[in-house]
C-alpha cells in the first residue's frame, strides 16, 4: 500500500491530489491518504462516490487532528474526447 501525505493542504487540494494519484495508479492499487483539513472528511468521500475508485476504510487519529482514508484505484477515466459524436 502506498501512502499519500496531504497534511498541511487545504480544500480543495487534498481531493485534487488524491484524484491525480488514483487516476495514475493501476486498478486495484490501494493508497492510504492522510489529511488534516476537516473538509477532506466530506470532499474525498464525495469525489469517490462519483468516480471509479472505492473507499475501503477511513478514520481519524486519536487526537482528532488527522484523517486517513484507504482508497482503491479503479479504472482511470478516459481523457479521450469523441469528436465525431455518437455513432448511428
pLDDT in tens, 45-59: 999 999 999 999 999
Listed by start position, the domains of the chain span: 2-72
CATH class of 2-72: alpha beta
pLDDT recorded at residue 58? 96
Residue 13 backbone dihedrals phi, psi, to 5 degrees: -60, -40
Three-class secondary structure of residue 33 per DSSP: strand
pLDDT recorded at residue 48? 96
How much is the pTM? 0.81
Q: Pick the residue with more confidence: 41 or 84?
A: 41
Amino acid at each position: 500500500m502506498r501512502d499519500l501525505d496531504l497534511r498541511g493542504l487545504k480544500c480543495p487540494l487534498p481531493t485534487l491530489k488524491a484524484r491525480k494519484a488514483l487516476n495514475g495508479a493501476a486498478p486495484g492499487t490501494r493508497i492510504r491518504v492522510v489529511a488534516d483539513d476537516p473538509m477532506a472528511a466530506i470532499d474525498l468521500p464525495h469525489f469517490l462516490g462519483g468516480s471509479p475508485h472505492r473507499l475501503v476504510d477511513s478514520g481519524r487519529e486519536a487526537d482528532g487532528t488527522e484523517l486517513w482514508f484507504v482508497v482503491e484505484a479503479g479504472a482511470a477515466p478516459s481523457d479521450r474526447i469523441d469528436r465525431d459524436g455518437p455513432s448511428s
